Amino acid sequence: MKNIVLTLPTLILMLFSSLATVHASEEAPAIKVQALAGGGLHLLQGRGGNVLASIGLDGVLLVDNDYADLGPAYEKAIAELSQSELAPGFIINTHWHSDHAGNNEYWGYRGSIMVAHNNVRQRMSTTQEMPALGMTVEPSADIALPLVTFADSIALHFNGNDIEVQHYPNGHTDGDSVVFYSNDNVVHMGDLFFKDRFPFVDLGSSGSVSGYIANVSAVLARVDAQTIIVPGHGSIANRADLERYLDMLKTTTAQVYASLDSGQSVDAIVAAGLGPQWESWGQGFISEERWIQTVAAER
Ligand SMILES: [Zn+2]
């Protein structure tokens, strides 16, 4: 009979190597990087909203920055792409939600300048109630607040791109911006686009289903068959994907409104469902039931 003898040095070595493994995976969750056509644009994906990074001679510009705990992981990914330790010069916030603007504080301490619609700064400065999620969000630290705000639109000129940040009225929230890179024909839509999923419409932040549909129609009119569309959540999309999304929005809201008009209760509409063609759309953050309730709440 053979005994396995673990000497003290072996035990210590095993302990340290397992600690190192745990430590490394906690410190650097993977950020998925995808290069987009032209001008040094990259899609970065962690756990929250999609991040678009422009990397070039002018430095780094981000659109959105994901959840707060992912700051170091993004810092590492950006340093590898840019071959530099410099923090992003500018960060555009498409809206105030913490899965998109969660690292404003992290980057604020590192000198980045946040740019957003007036209502983003306003909402981040005050306590926010999100009844749909049963959440209360405390005001952000001053360092996290956008230093540059605007009412309608603002332009930035960075790494060879003319970048237009255009506000769209009450849709996902009341501070939604869509970011257009005219030279590279790339658009980041923030949460005005959940690819192949029902959207979250934050009624507590003055979002609106009818406004949301109007905004998606307006963006669709501005893009062409070659435009690379970055949704707030989901993979890279094109005009056909956005058209399909708009069709879903129009068809399902008309369906809910028609049922309400015929005297059906919201519960009855939920029980009947929207039909098999929309089943996969409810498998994300917003279920079919939640989508029906949101649409009905505005009627
Ligand atoms: Zn959002």
Q: Measured in angstroms, how far is the CA atom of residue 97 from the centroid of ligand 1?
A: 5
Q: Measured in angstroms, how far is the CA atom of residue 183 from the centroid of ligand 1?
A: 27
User: What CA–CA distance (Å, rounded) separates 131 from 121?
Assistant: 20
Chain segment 12-48, per-residue pLDDT in tens: 444 444 444 444 445 556 899 999 976 699 999 999 9
Q: Measured in angstroms, how far is the CA atom of residue 100 from the centroid of ligand 1?
A: 7
What angle is formed at CA 225 by the lines to CA 90 and CA 287, rounded to 5 degrees? 70
Predicted TM-score (pTM) of the model is: 0.90
User: What CA–CA distance (Å, rounded) separates 47 from 98?
Assistant: 11
Write out the residues surrounding ion ligand 1, Cβ under 5 A: 97, 191
Q: Measured in angstroms, how far is the CA atom of residue 176 from the centroid of ligand 1?
A: 9
User: What CA–CA distance (Å, rounded) separates 293 from 4?
Assistant: 63
φ/ψ (deg, to 5) at 230: -95, 115
- Both tokens of residue 278? 């929309």
* Domain definitions of the chain by residue range: 29-250
Q: Measured in angstroms, how far is the CA atom of residue 41 from the centroid of ligand 1?
A: 22
Tell me if 34 sits within 8 A of 136, measured CB to CB: no
CATH class of 29-250: alpha beta
Query: What's the sign of the alpha-carbon dihedral 37, 39, 45, 51?
Result: negative
φ/ψ (deg, to 5) at 229: -110, 120
pLDDT beneath 50, residues of the chain: 1-25
| DSSP label of 139 | P
> What is the pLDDT, as a whole number, of residue 28?
55
Q: Measured in angstroms, how far is the CA atom of residue 193 from the centroid of ligand 1?
A: 10
What angle is formed at CA 97 by the lines to CA 91 and CA 196, rounded to 5 degrees? 100
